Structures are given as structure tokens and as C-alpha cells.
């Protein structure tokens, strides 16, 4: 029996890009006939006609599965639904906007045959991203890499092939506040890099604005390291030592040569500086406490409104007397 390759495609308002993406993906699947395929779409609460298009694809092509989440849970949570429900021996993750070229999947499958368990695509070029966004991304990866105890892959997104062992490992990580790119690095396993030029979107607009990317960066840092807490602690010690030396200097100066009363401006500036540092430290501490609060509630990471399995997958498991 042919091995089953699941292709996971998270979707959020991708009605314009889906038809073009499906055409390109079919060309790749029809050429690589040594595998069976399950194309697993995840509708993450789209407000356009994305769900209608997915239903039509499911009805017309036996390789298409889809899950419709009850609302928009975010891409990170939506991908967990894919890890939980995809049936394949391996899983390829790609975006619906064709910035991740489906043709690269053939090379990924070749490396998978050689025994690699995580074949990831590294971007040589970040496409139409602005200069500032590119520099901030590099800065984020540099901070995260220096603060964690495992290697963080730079310029690597979600576009990759994962072996079933990796999928099972990611299924076991049930965090509500998720940073999946860090999880890919954390689980380890045998990795292989493929370098590619990331193109521009074929249609639509990116859903990732600056605020969302900043929030994702905070999630990434707070999910995998306590480095910000350590920085706050060290900063507190440094400020306390400087304050003590500052006090000692003025005590000695007053005793030896005398000293007039300092101006009001200096006092206010010092108070505002110390108050700002304290608020930053409280904010960092609150971020971690908030994460603990969210995790202790034990809420599900996502909720499903509708789920349809590809007919070819149903037939495959029926023939082997397995459960879908």
C-alpha cells in the first residue's frame, strides 16, 4: 500500500488564493503518483467564501478533507487541529497564498525517504516584506536563540514536512499560548534544510500586521525562556547598586565639602526612571502569570463546528479495518 502524505493548509479569508493554489498543488500530486494524498484544509473562522470553496473541493475531489473551526482561533491553534486530525504517514504544512511553492514538496519527500523526519524550508529571500520588518525578524530570532537552550532556526517558517513521530510529539504539546515555530525546534528529531526564494502572495493581503507580529514575538519569547525575568532581576540589582553608590557619593561629598540642595528636576527624573523600570518588571512578571492563568483554566485549544474526511482516506482505512 502506498504511503499517505497529508498536506495541511490553514485558511483564513483565502477565497481569492484557493483556486490558484489548488491548481498548482494538483499538478504536483498528479505527477508524484507513488504516494497517496490527503489535502487537509483548516478553515479558521473565515468570514468570506473560503468555507464554501472547501466544501466544493471536498465534494469534487476524494483527496480533500477539511475542518471548520467554530471561530477564529489563530493560525497557531488551527495548526494543532491539523496535527490532531491529519491521517498521513507524514505531514506537509504550507500556506494557501502560494508563497510556499508546492513544487518543493517533491524534494521534501525525497529527503523523507532518506530518513529525515523534519524537512524544513529556509527562506533565502523574504519576498515583499519591508526593510524594517526583515531587520526586526532577524533581531527577534537572535534574541530567542541566545535566550533558549536549543537552536532556533532563523528565516524558517511553518513550511516543512514532518514525519509521523514529529506529528505525535507536537500533538502532546497542548499549550493554549502557542508558538509552533519554536516547538518545531524544541522537539528535535533528524532535520534537513532546503533553501528557497519566498515569493509574493498570488492574491489577497497578509493577515499579519505589526501588532500581531509583535504579539507573536512576545509569545515566542515567553513560551520558551524565562530570560525576560532574569533581565528584570539583573536590572534591579544593577539599579540598586548604582543607587547605593550614588547615595554614598553624596553623603561623603556633603560631609567633606558641603552640598547645596539639588534641583527639583533631578529628583523628578530619577523618580520617573525608577518608576518606569518597576512598571516594566511588573509587566514582564504579569505576562508570565497571565500565561499560567490561561493554562490552568484547562480550556480546549480549539473547537470544531464541522469536519469532513476525504473519501479516499475513508476507503483506505476501511480496507485495512482501521478507524478513521
Does residue 3 contact residue 89 with C-beta atoms inside 8 Å?
A: yes
Q: Residue 252 falls within a domain, yes or no? A: yes
Is there a single domain that holds both residue 124 and residue 264?
Answer: no
Residue-range definition of the domain harbouring residue 263: 227-296
Is there a single domain that holds both residue 49 and residue 174?
Answer: yes
Is there a single domain that holds both residue 132 and residue 68?
Answer: yes
Is there a single domain that holds both residue 45 and residue 185?
Answer: yes
Is there a single domain that holds both residue 45 and residue 191?
Answer: yes
Look at 39-48, 197-206, 281-290 and tell me which has the smallest mean pLDDT. 197-206
Q: Give yes or no for residue 263 having a pLDDT over 70.
A: no
Cα 61 from chain centre: 30
Q: Residue 222 falls within a domain, yes or no? A: no
Give pLDDT, residue 147. 64
pLDDT in tens, 223-232: 767 777 777 7
Q: Which H helix or E strand runs over 285?
A: helix 264-296
Measured CA to CA, the distance from residue 51 to residue 68 in angstroms comes to: 7
**Could you count the other beta carbons within 10 Å of the beta carbon of residue 293?**
10
Is there a single domain that holds both residue 19 and residue 167?
Answer: yes
**Could you count the other beta carbons within 10 Å of the beta carbon of residue 148?**
18
Q: Give yes or no for residue 192 having a pLDDT over 60.
A: yes
Reported as a pLDDT band with limits 50, 70 and 90, residue 161 is very high
Q: Residue 31 falls within a domain, yes or no? A: yes
Q: Give yes or no for residue 127 having a pLDDT over 60.
A: no
Give pLDDT, residue 123. 80
User: What's the full length of the chain, in residues?
Assistant: 324
Measured CA to CA, the distance from residue 173 to residue 115 in angstroms comes to: 24
Look-up of cell digits 514538496: 105
Q: Give yes or no for residue 272 having a pLDDT over 80.
A: no
Structural domains of the chain, count? 2
Cα–Cα nearest to 136, from 23, 48, 213:
213
**Could you count the other beta carbons within 10 Å of the beta carbon of residue 210?**
11
Is there a single domain that holds both residue 251 and residue 177?
Answer: no
Query: For position 63, which CATH number holds?
Result: 3.90.550.10
The stretch 103-132 carries a mean pLDDT of 80
Does residue 4 contact residue 89 with C-beta atoms inside 8 Å?
A: yes
Q: Residue 137 falls within a domain, yes or no? A: yes
Cα–Cα nearest to 160, from 116, 213, 115:
116
Q: Give yes or no for residue 324 having a pLDDT over 60.
A: no
Terminal Cα-to-Cα distance of the chain (whole angstroms): 17
Cα 292 from chain centre: 20
Cα–Cα nearest to 184, from 167, 202, 206, 207:
167
Q: Residue 212 falls within a domain, yes or no? A: no
Query: pLDDT higher for 116 or 227?
Result: 116
Query: C-alpha cell of 195?
Result: 533553501
pTM score:
0.72
The stretch 121-150 carries a mean pLDDT of 67
Give pLDDT, residue 21. 86
The stretch 257-262 carries a mean pLDDT of 61
Phi and psi at 183, nearest 5°, equal -65, -40
Give pLDDT, residue 213. 64
Query: pLDDT higher for 214 or 207?
Result: 214
Does residue 94 contact residue 29 with C-beta atoms inside 8 Å?
A: no
Is there a single domain that holds both residue 10 and residue 145?
Answer: yes
The stretch 13-29 carries a mean pLDDT of 86
Does residue 28 contact residue 105 with C-beta atoms inside 8 Å?
A: yes
Give pLDDT, residue 146. 67
Q: Which H helix or E strand runs over 85?
A: helix 75-85
Q: Is 117 helix (H, G, I), strand (E, B) or coil?
A: coil
Give pLDDT, residue 202. 58
Q: Residue 173 falls within a domain, yes or no? A: yes
Is there a single domain that holds both residue 128 and residue 175?
Answer: yes
Phi and psi at 322, nearest 5°, equal -105, 175
Q: Encode 311-324 in three state secondary structure.
A: HHHHHHHHHCCCCC
Measured CA to CA, the distance from residue 271 to residue 287 in angstroms comes to: 24
Give pLDDT, residue 200. 64
Q: Give yes or no for residue 20 having a pLDDT over 70.
A: yes
Is there a single domain that holds both residue 284 and residue 306?
Answer: no
Does residue 181 contact residue 158 with C-beta atoms inside 8 Å?
A: yes
Is there a single domain that holds both residue 246 and residue 231?
Answer: yes
Give pLDDT, residue 262. 59
Rank 39-48, 182-191, 243-252 by mean pLDDT and report only the highest. 39-48
Give pLDDT, residue 133. 63
Is there a single domain that holds both residue 74 and residue 31?
Answer: yes
| Number of DSSP helices (H) and strands (E) in the chain, helices first | 11, 8
Measured CA to CA, the distance from residue 314 to residue 283 in angstroms comes to: 50
Amino acid at each position: 500500500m502506498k504511503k499517505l502524505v497529508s498536506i495541511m493548509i490553514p485558511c483564513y479569508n483565502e477565497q481569492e488564493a484557493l483556486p490558484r493554489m489548488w491548481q498548482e498543488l494538483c499538478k504536483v500530486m498528479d505527477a508524484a503518483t507513488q504516494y497517496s494524498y490527503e489535502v487537509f484544509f483548516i478553515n479558521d473562522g473565515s468570514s468570506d467564501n473560503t468555507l464554501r470553496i472547501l466544501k466544493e473541493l471536498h465534494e469534487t475531489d476524494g483527496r480533500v478533507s477539511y475542518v471548520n473551526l467554530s471561530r477564529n482561533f489563530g493560525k497557531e491553534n488551527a495548526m494543532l487541529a491539523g496535527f490532531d486530525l491529519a491521517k498521513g504517514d507524514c505531514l506537509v504544512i504550507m500556506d494557501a497564498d502560494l508563497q510556499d511553492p508546492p513544487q518543493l514538496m517533491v524534494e521534501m519527500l525525497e529527503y523523507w525517504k532518506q530518513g529525515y523526519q523534519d524537512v524544513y524550508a529556509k527562506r533565502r529571500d523574504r519576498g515583499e516584506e519591508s526593510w524594517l520588518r526583515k531587520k526586526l525578524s532577524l533581531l527577534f530570532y537572535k534574541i530567542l536563540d541566545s535566550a533558549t537552550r536549543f537552536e532556533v532556526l532563523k528565516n524558517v517558517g511553518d513550511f516543512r514536512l514532518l514525519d509521523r513521530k514529529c506529528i505525535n510529539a507536537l500533538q502532546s504539546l497542548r499549550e493554549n499560548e502557542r508558538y509552533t515555530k519554536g516547538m518545531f525546534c524544541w522537539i528535535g528529531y533528524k532535520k534537513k534544510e532546503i533553501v528557497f526564494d519566498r515569493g509574493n502572495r498570488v492574491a489577497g493581503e497578509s493577515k499579519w500586521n505589526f501588532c500581531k507580529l509583535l504579539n507573536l514575538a512576545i509569545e515566542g519569547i515567553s513560551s520558551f525562556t524565562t530570560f525576560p525575568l532574569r533581565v528584570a532581576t539583573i536590572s534591579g540589582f544593577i539599579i540598586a547598586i548604582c543607587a547605593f553608590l550614588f547615595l554614598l557619593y553624596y553623603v561623603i561629598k556633603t560631609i567633606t565639602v558641603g552640598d547645596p540642595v539639588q534641583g527639583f528636576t533631578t529628583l523628578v527624573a530619577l523618580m520617573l526612571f525608577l518608576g518606569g523600570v518597576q512598571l516594566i518588571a511588573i509587566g514582564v512578571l504579569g505576562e508570565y502569570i497571565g500565561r499560567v492563568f490561561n493554562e490552568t483554566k484547562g480550556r480546549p485549544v480549539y473547537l470544531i463546528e464541522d469536519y469532513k474526511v476525504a473519501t479516499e482516506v475513508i476507503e483506505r482505512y476501511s480496507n485495512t479495518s482501521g478507524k478513521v
